[in-house]
Structure 1
Amino acid sequence: MRHRRQAAGGVRKRSGWAVAGRVALGVTGALLLALGGAGAWLHLSAQGQHAGSAAAGGLGGAVTVTRDAWGVPHIRAATDADAVFALGFAHWQDRAWQMDFQRRVAQGRLAEVLGEAALPQDRFLRTWGFERAAQAALPALSAQSRALIRAYTAGVNAAQAQGRTALEFRILGYAPEPWREVDSVSWSKLMAFDLGGNYEEEVLGAQVVRRLGADGLDQVTAPYPDGAPTVLSADELSGAAQSLTGAARTGQAVGRSVAAGRATAPTALPQATVTALRAHLQAARTLGLQAVPGKGSNNWVIAGTRTASGKPILADDPHLALTAPMLWYLADLQGDRLKAIGASIPGLPAIVIGRNERVAWGVTNVNPDVQDLYIEPEGAPLTSRREVIRVKGAPDVILTVRSSRHGPIISDAGAGAVGPRVALKWTALQGGDTTMDAFLGLNYARNWADFTGALRSYLAPSQSFVYADVDGNTGYYAPGRVPVRRGWDGSLPVSGDGSREWQDFVPFEQLPHTFNPADGLIVTANNRVVPDSYPHALGNDRNWAEPYRARRITDLLEDGRKLTVADVQRVQLDTLSLVWADLRGPLLATRPGSDRARQALERLRGWDGRQTTDSVPSTLFEAWLMQLQRMARDELGNDAVMNSLSVLNQLRGNGELCAVNGAGDCAALLTRTLDAALTDLEGRLGPDLNGWTYGQLHTVASHHRAFGKVSALAWLFNHEAPTPGGTNTVNVARPEHGTFRQTHGASYRQIVDLASPNRSVYIGSLGQEGHPLARHTADQQARWIAGEYLPMSTDPADWGRTRQLTLTPRP
C-alpha cells in the first residue's frame, strides 16, 4: 500500500537542499522522469540480491539470510562475526543511500554531493566535530567490539562490491566510498546530538533573561510541576542514594539545592552572537536534528504480578524524526553466542532495541543537562584547525575552527570572530567514549548483572533503559556521563573564567536505577526521572518533558486488570489528550468574537479529547493551541514556540505574556487566537467547519532527506498518510507549525512477552528497503498507522513467505 498524498493546504517550504537537488538532477533527473516505464529496470538494477547464493570475501563460513514476508532478515551463522558480517551485507543491500548519507552528515561532507546549498550544514558539522569525536572513540572500544565492527565493515564492503547502486547515487552522479570502521561510530554521535543536550535551551534562555529577566524563564519554559510523576519514586532510589557516603551525600545535597534554585544570571550575549548560535540550530533543523516539543519516547516494563501470564511485559516506542527510509531496520541475528532480534540502525553492528533469548530491553531519552555554553574571556588560549569543505560545482571552502579548553567555538558560524567567543562543552565530544561497547554488550546480556555491566560503558546520550528477563525480573537504569555542577544549574551560558566548571561525573552506582521495584511497574516518557530526595542534579526543572504521557500511561496500566500484550498495544496507540483536559476550562470560557467562533466552541464543548483522523474538534484544538504557543513572539521573535504547559500556566494566571505590546490580557488573547486559528483553517480547508476533519491536515510525513522537498522527485521518495494522535498523546503525533504534518513520532514499536518471547511483536514506521520502487519500501506504514504489528519471532513458522540468500566465503 502506497501513501504519497500531500497534506491538504500544507505549506511547501523551499530549502537550500531543494535548490541543490534541482541543480544536481540536471539532464539525469529529466531523463529519469521521462522514462516512466523504466521504473522496473531501475528497481532491478539497484536492488540487492535477496535469493540464491553469493560469494563474499571476508566470511569464515556459510551464512543464510532469510527475509520474511516483510523483508526482515533472519540471519543464521556459525559464528558471531559471520552473523554481524551478514547484517552489514543486508544493511548495505537495503539501505545503501541512507548509510552513505548518514556518514556524510557526521563527516560534514554534504556539499560534495548536494552543492553550495549544503554549506551551512557542513560548517555546523565540521565546527562541532562529530567525525573527530568518532575517530577519538574508536580506539577506546573493547577487543570484542573492534572485532565485530571489523566483521560488519567487511560485510558492508562485500555488498558494495556486488556493484548495484542505490537510485540516489545515480541521480546525484557519484559512487559511494568503501565503508570504514569509524563510520559505524560516527552516526552514534549524531544520535547523541539529537537526544543529548540543552544547547538550544541555553540560547533561548539567554534571550529570555535579556528581555524578561530571570523570572521569565519559568514563564516561557515551565518548570516540571510539583506532584507530577517521576520515573522512580523515593523508595526506589535505594541503590543510588544509599551508595553515597554521609560526607558525599551532604556535599551533593548542597550542590543539588543550589542547582534547583534560580539560574545564574548569564554573561550578556549581543544579538549578533545569538544570531550566529542560531545559525547552527537552523543547520541542525535542516538535518532533522532539533528539539521538538513533544518529541520523546515511551517505554515501560510490567512485572509478572501485574500480567495475565505471570511473566513481565516490556514495551518501547522511541519518538524520533520520521524519514524515508525509516531510521530503524528490523533484524534477527544468530551466531554462536549472539542471538538477538529487534531494531538495528543501518551503519551500527548491533540490535539497539530488542531482546535475546533471555533478556529484553527498551530505551527512551533521559535528557539530562550534558552541554554547557562558555563565554570565553579575552586572552583565553585558543587552538585552531583548518577544514577544507569540497563543494560540488564550486571552489573548495576553507573553514577555520577554533577551540578553547572547553570545546569548539560555535559562535563564529563560519564567518570569523564576531563578538564574544562562545565555546561548547559536551560529554559526547570528550574522548574515551565506549557507548558502542554498551550496545554490543546488551546483545549478549543473560541477566541483570550482565545488563548493568554492559551499561557501565554507556556514556552518551544518557538514556532510560528498562529491563526484563525470562526469570521474571524487571529493572531500570539511566546510564551516561552526567556532569556534577556546584553553585549553578547549567541552564544559561556562563563565563569561561574557571568559576563555573564541571566537578566530576555522577558515579555509575549513583545514577538512577532500580531492580524489581515493589509495585511491579516502571514507566518512562521523558518525564522527570527522580524526586527531590535524589542527591544529584540531573538538570534543572525545565529539562523534562511535560508529564502528560507519563500520567496517561500510568493510569492505563494501573486499572487493576491483569495485563496482556493486547492491553499494552492499546496503551501504545492511545490518543486521548490530557493536554485538552487541562486546557478545556480556560478555552471553553473564551468570549467568541463571531458566529464561527461560537460554532467552534460548541464543537469543542462536546469533545471527549480523543484525537482521531475523523475528528473535527482535534483540528480546532491543535490549530488554536498553535496560535497560543506563539504568545511569546513579541518578546522573543517569530520562532518562539512555548510548550502546552507554559501556555496553561499563562492562561490560569493571566500571565504577562498574554499581552500584545504591553496591552490586553489572556481573555483578549483567547478571543483573538481562536479567530486566527479559524481563519487559518478556513484558508486550508474551506468555509464549512463541519468538514474540517483532522486527517485532512494531520498526515504523517516520512520524507526523504535529500529529495523530500524537490518537487520533481518528492512524489517518488516521500510517503504521507492521515494519522491520529496529537500534542503529548501517548501515541505522540504533534502537528508541525505551519503544515500540521506529523514529522516526529513512534519511529518503532515493540512489545516483548517474556512468558513466550516468540509471541512478542514489533513494527517500524515505514519499511525495510530504501529503494522507492522496492516491495518493502513502505509496506509497514499502513499497519503502523492502524496499530498493527509484525511477529517478533525467531521461529520460521511465523515468517510467512520467505526468500533465502546463502552467503559463502569467496575462494
Structure 2
Amino acid sequence: MAGIGRGLLWTLLLVLAAVLGVVVWARATSAPQVSGDVTLGGLSGPVTVTRDAWGVPHIRAQSDEDAVYALGYVHWQDRAWQMDFQRRVVAGRLSEVLGEPALAQDRFLRTWGFQQAAESVLPALSERSRSLVRAYTAGVNAAMGQGKVAPEFRILGYTPEAWKEVDSVSWSKLMAYDLGGNMEDEVLNTRVTQRLGQQGLDEVTAPYPADGPTILSGDELAKTGVRPAGGLDTASLSTSALGALQAHLNAARELGLQAVPGKGSNDWVIGGSRTASGKPILADDPHLALTSPMLWYLADIQGPTLKAIGASIPGLPAIVIGRNERVAWGVTNTNPDVQDLYIEPADASFTQRQETIKVKGGADVTLTVRESRHGPVVSDAGAADVGPRVALKWTALQPGDTTMDAFMGLNYARNWDDFKTALSQYVAPSQNFVYADVDGNTGYYAPGRVPLRNGWDGSLPVSGDGSREWTGYIPFEGLPHTYNPADGLVVTANNKVVPDSYAYNLGNSRNWAEPYRAERITQLLTARPDGLTVQDVKAVQLDTVSLVWRDLKEELLATQPDGDLSRQALELLRGWDGDERADAVAPSIFEAWLMQLQKMAQDELGNSTTLNSLSVLRQLQADSELCRNAAAQVQNCAAELSASLGRAVDDLSARLGSDPSAWTYGKLHHVASNHRAFGNVGALAWLFNHGAPTGGGTNTVNVARPEQGTFNQTHGPSYRQIIDLSDLNNSVFIGSLGQGGNPLGNHVSDQQSMWTEGEYLPMSTDAADWGKVKTLTLTPGK
C-alpha cells in the first residue's frame, strides 16, 4: 500500500510539474512587454507608457495622435482576445472559430446587419476623429506585430487578422443593442395582448408610478406643451413570426445581450452648494454584464490637447466615461423607444443580400437577408414561402452615425458649450449624460436620435403600409437637458426622464426602470443638504438597502406559512432592516421568495416571462388574476404567497442546508465574471472565470440582482467613478475585475476584491499616486 501511495504521489507531482511548466511557458509567450524600450513605425515622437501598481497605463505623448496610437497599443497588449471577439461578434464571424454552436448567433448578427451599419460610420466622421481612428488602428497593429499571442488564440488554433479602421467603431453598434431599443418589449407585449388583452400590458409590465421621481422636473424642461396623441396599435404577429423573433432574442442572450430586470446604471452630479468643497462632485456606475475580461479598461491619455482619464473600451479610441483637465462626465441609459417592428404588406418590395457564414469543422452556410424600406426582415430565415414578413426599423442601423465624433468631442471639451456641441453629434444608444466642470457648473443632457411618432406609442408592432411612419427625430435643442439646476442636484438611475408636461414622447409609461434606485439615491443625498464629500458619495454608490423590501414587506409578512421552514423564514424576515449585506440571512430568503413571485405569469405566458418587482407588488395588492394557477391549485394571491414561500425555502434548503439561520447571503450570492467563450467549458472555466461573494440585490443602488436559477450576480456596476471638481486628482475609480485579459497575467482580477469590498483606485494623473510603476518607452522607427 505504501508503495502504491508513493507511486501515486510521484504521478501527481509529475502532473503538477507539467502543468506548472505549461503555465510558465504560456506566460512567457503571451505576457506583454511593459518596461524597457521598443521601436515602432507610425509614431512621430517618443511616447512613455507608465503602468501603475494596478496595471493602469498613464500615456504621455508629444502629439494627440501618438497618444491614441499608444492607447491602441496597450489595448491590444492587454485585451487582444476581447478585441478580436468583439469585432467577430459584430461581423457575425463567431462560427469560424467556435464552430456550429455559434451559428444561431451569427445568423442573428448577419440578419440585423451590424457590420454594414458599422461600415457606414467612417465616411460620416470628422477629420479629427478619422485621424485618431487611423492612429489607434496603427497602434493596435504595431502591438499585434510584437508576436505575443493571447491564450485563447492558442486554444482555438487561429491567428487574428490585422486590425481595420472599421473595427474601431464596430463595437458601439453592439453597445447600442445592449442599451437601446424595445423589440424585446414589442415581442412580449404581443404575447401579452394575445393572451390577456391590451389591459394585460399594465399587469405584466407595470407603468411608471405617477409619483415616481423623474430626472428633470417640469420647471427644468427646455420645452413643454401638449404631446401628440399616442395609443396602442392593433397589428399582431403570427406564431411563426413570434418564434423567429424569439430565436433572435435567444441568440442575443447567448451573447450576454438581453433585457434584465434591475439592469441599469446610476449617475448623479452634485452642485457646489451641496458639497464641503464648494465645487461639484460627479459620480457614475454603469450596470452591465460582468464578464472576464471586464468590459472597461482604465487609462490616462495625455497629449498636447487631449488630456483624458477614465474608462475606455478596448477597440474604441477614446475615454468613454471620465474627465479631462476641466470637464467631467458620466452616463446612464436613457432607454427611449428607438425601435419599431413593421409587419410588411403582401405587395412590399425587398432588396436582398447573400451572407456566407464559415463554420469551423463544417460546411459553409448561406444566409439570404431581405430588407424593406424600414430595415432588415427579422422574421424569416431567408425562405421564399414564409408568411408576412416583419422588418425592424432602428436608429442605430441608420447611416451617418456620428456618435464617435461625440465621444471624441467629450474628451476635448473645455466647457458646457463644447459639451453640448459634442453631444449634438450623438446618435445611439441614447444616454443620460451628467456634467461638471472646474468652474463649478453642472448640467445634464439626454442626446441621441429619438423618433417622432404621430398616433401610436411604439408598444406593439405596426403595419408597414405607410400609415405608421416616423416623421423625424426630436430636435437636439428639444431633448431633455438642464444647466446649473437651482436645487444643485441631478440624479439618474434609468428612471423616467421627464414629467408628462414634456412636449415630446420619449416612450410609453412602461419604458423606464422601476423608481427604487433613483428614489434611494435622492433620499441619501438630500438627507444632508450640504457638506457632502467624496466619502459620502462612496457610501451612496455602495448602498445595499432594498426599497423593494420596504414596499413588499406588508404583503409578505402577512403570509400564512405552509410548514416549519416557512415559519422560520418569516420570523427571520420580521426584524430585517432591508439591508442586503453578504453576511445577513434575510436577503437570501427575500431574494429567493421574490424570484419565485416573479414567475407568477409563466403559466399564462411561458417560462421566459419574468415580472419586475413593481409588477409583483401590483399583483399582490390587487389580488390579480396572475396570482392564480389552476394546475397548481392556487386560487388567489394569498395562496400564491404561501406556495411561493414554500418553494423558496425548499430551494434554499437544497442549496444551503436545512437550518435557515445558516443561510447567509454570501454563501448563495456570488458575482460571476465569466469568459464569453470558455465560461461554460468545464476543463477551462476554472482558469478564465472569476467569482466572489457579494451583497446587494434587485434594485438596490449597488445593484446585484440574483440570476434566476443560480442566484449569481451576472450584471452590476461594471465600473465606478467619483470625480471631485475641487481637486481632480482626489477623484477615484475602479473596475469590476482587472486590467488584464490574460488569465495567467498579474492584473487579470486584482481589482475584484477591492470592487466587492467597496474600495477604489486613485483616478489621478499625478505620478505620486501611482504606487510601484513599470515604464515602457515607444520610440519611433521606420
Settle same-fold status: TM greater than 0.5.
Answer: yes
Match of 1:17 in 2: none
Give 3-state SS (helix, strand or coil) of 1:395's partner. Answer: coil
Q: Deviations over 1:152-202 (max 9, x none)?
A: 000000000001100000000000000000001110000000001001000
Q: Does 1:394 align with 2:394?
A: no
Q: Does 1:181 align with 2:165?
A: yes
2:554 to 578, 581, 585: 585
Give 3-state SS (helix, strand or coil) of 1:149's partner. Answer: helix
CA contact (8 A) 1:302 1:521 kept: yes
Give 3-state SS (helix, strand or coil) of 2:363's partner. Answer: strand
After superposition, where does 1:171-570 map in structure 2 within 5 Å?
Answer: 171-237=155-221, 239-241=222-224, 249=225, 253-255=226-228, 258-259=229-230, 262-265=231-234, 267-413=235-381, 418-560=386-528, 561-570=530-539
CA distance in 1, matches of 2:216, 2:46: 47
Give 3-state SS (helix, strand or coil) of 1:318's partner. Answer: strand
1:137 to 121, 138, 142: 121
Normalising by structure 2, what TM-score?
0.97
CA distance in 1, matches of 2:18, 2:46: 43
- Aligned residue pairs total 765
Matched AA of 1:498:
G
Normalising by structure 1, what TM-score?
0.93
Matched AA of 2:97:
V
Match of 1:708 in 2: 679
CA contact (8 A) 2:227 2:502 kept: no
Give 3-state SS (helix, strand or coil) of 1:489's partner. Answer: coil
Matched AA of 2:154:
R
Q: Does 1:652 align with 2:621?
A: yes
Give 3-state SS (helix, strand or coil) of 2:436's partner. Answer: strand
CA distance in 2, matches of 1:168, 1:452: 42
Give 3-state SS (helix, strand or coil) of 2:754's partner. Answer: helix
CA distance in 2, matches of 1:417, 1:726: 47
CA contact (8 A) 1:279 1:413 kept: no
CA contact (8 A) 1:460 1:481 kept: yes
Q: Deviations over 1:391-417 (max 9, x none)?
A: 001110000000100000001146665
Match of 2:52 in 1: 68
After superposition, where does 1:614-653 map in structure 2 within 5 Å?
Answer: 614-653=583-622
CA contact (8 A) 1:482 1:505 kept: yes
Q: Relative to 1, partners in 2 of residues 1:416 and 1:612: Cα closer, same or farther, differing over 3 Å?
A: farther
Give 3-state SS (helix, strand or coil) of 1:527's partner. Answer: coil
Q: Does 1:791 align with 2:759?
A: no
CA distance in 1, matches of 2:383, 2:310: 44
Match of 2:541 in 1: 572
Give 3-state SS (helix, strand or coil) of 1:497's partner. Answer: coil
CA distance in 1, matches of 2:572, 2:203: 30
2:63 to 54, 79, 89: 79
Deviation at 1:272, TM superposition (A): 2.0
CA distance in 2, matches of 1:596, 1:471: 59
Q: Deviations over 1:116-169 (max 9, x none)?
A: 010000000000000000001110000000000000000000000001100000
Give 3-state SS (helix, strand or coil) of 1:505's partner. Answer: coil
CA contact (8 A) 1:276 1:411 kept: yes
Q: Relative to 1, partners in 2 of residues 1:809 and 1:468: Cα closer, same or farther, differing over 3 Å?
A: same
Match of 2:83 in 1: 99
Q: Does 1:768 align with 2:736?
A: no
Q: Deviations over 1:428-462 (max 9, x none)?
A: 00010000000011000000000000000000000
1:604 to 573, 587, 590: 573
Q: Quote the sequence identity (%).
A: 70
1:162 to 123, 139, 146: 146
CA distance in 1, matches of 2:695, 2:131: 44
CA distance in 2, matches of 1:517, 1:35: 60
Give 3-state SS (helix, strand or coil) of 1:37's partner. Answer: helix
CA contact (8 A) 2:227 2:504 kept: no
CA distance in 1, matches of 2:583, 2:243: 42
CA contact (8 A) 2:367 2:381 kept: no
2:137 to 147, 150, 153: 153
Give 3-state SS (helix, strand or coil) of 1:504's partner. Answer: coil
Deviation at 1:501, TM superposition (A): 0.7
Q: Relative to 1, partners in 2 of residues 1:521 and 1:348: Cα closer, same or farther, differing over 3 Å?
A: same
Q: Does 1:42 align with 2:26?
A: yes
CA contact (8 A) 1:273 1:418 kept: no
CA contact (8 A) 1:307 1:562 kept: yes
Match of 2:638 in 1: 667
Deviation at 1:661, TM superposition (A): 3.2
CA distance in 1, matches of 2:572, 2:435: 44
Match of 1:4 in 2: none
CA contact (8 A) 1:91 1:156 kept: yes
Q: Deviations over 1:272-307 (max 9, x none)?
A: 211110000000000001100111000000000000
Matched AA of 2:210:
D
CA contact (8 A) 1:437 1:454 kept: yes
CA contact (8 A) 2:310 2:321 kept: yes
CA distance in 1, matches of 2:694, 2:664: 11
Q: Deviations over 1:328-348 (max 9, x none)?
A: 000000011000000000000
CA distance in 1, matches of 2:32, 2:383: 44
CA distance in 2, matches of 1:82, 1:72: 18
Matched AA of 1:149:
V
Q: Deviations over 1:2-25 (max 9, x none)?
A: xxxxxxxxxxxxxxxxxxxxxxxx
CA distance in 2, matches of 1:472, 1:385: 53
Q: Which moved more, 1:417-426 or 1:298-307?
A: 417-426
CA distance in 2, matches of 1:34, 1:106: 38
CA distance in 2, matches of 1:468, 1:220: 39
CA distance in 1, matches of 2:188, 2:17: 44
Matched AA of 2:361:
G
CA contact (8 A) 1:240 1:513 kept: no
Name structure 2 gaps, 5 residues minimum.
Answer: 1-14
CA distance in 2, matches of 1:88, 1:428: 25
Matched AA of 1:92:
W
Name structure 1 gaps, 5 residues minimum.
Answer: 1-30, 242-248
Deviation at 1:34, TM superposition (A): 6.0
CA contact (8 A) 2:495 2:513 kept: yes
CA distance in 2, matches of 1:132, 1:696: 46
